[in-house]
Amino acid sequence: IVIFDRIREDLKHMKKHTFKEIINHALNHTLSRTTITSATTIIALLALVLLGGATIFSFALVMTIGVIFGTLSSIFIASPLMLLFHKLEVRRSLTLKNSEK
């Protein structure tokens, strides 16, 4: 969500750039914050996994795995998918314009 919010902001301010450049810029600006936030959360969750006891072990383990996969998917999957959908939308609109002629 943080990356998509940054892309939305950059779309307003970087009108002369391509969509790919805007996504790259947004990723570069949010990558360190996302990584630091996730790492801090994982440290706390690992402490719960190791020191929390049997009752909280499963919860902390699942949360740790979720934070890892959530971070990786927001960086490596969500943004490229957004770029792919944008390309498909542009291609579709060009096809519709050409078919109207």
pLDDT tens, residue order, the chain (101 aa):
888 999 999 999 999 999 999 999 999 999 999 999 999 999 999 999 999 999 999 999 999 999 999 999 988 999 999 999 999 999 999 888 888 76
Tell me how far apart the alpha carbons of residues 96 and 77 are, in angstroms, rounded to a whole number.
Answer: 28
Question: What does the block give as tokens for 54?
Answer: 């049997």
Contact (CB, 8 A) for 22 and 86: no
Q: Please tell me the predicted confidence (pLDDT) of residue 101.
A: 64
Question: What does the block give as tokens for 46?
Answer: 């690992």
Q: CB count, 10 Å around CB of 23?
A: 22
Output DSSP code: residue 18.
-
Tell me how far apart the alpha carbons of residues 63 and 15 are, in angstroms, rounded to a whole number.
Answer: 39
Residues 6+ apart with CB under 8 A from 33: 2
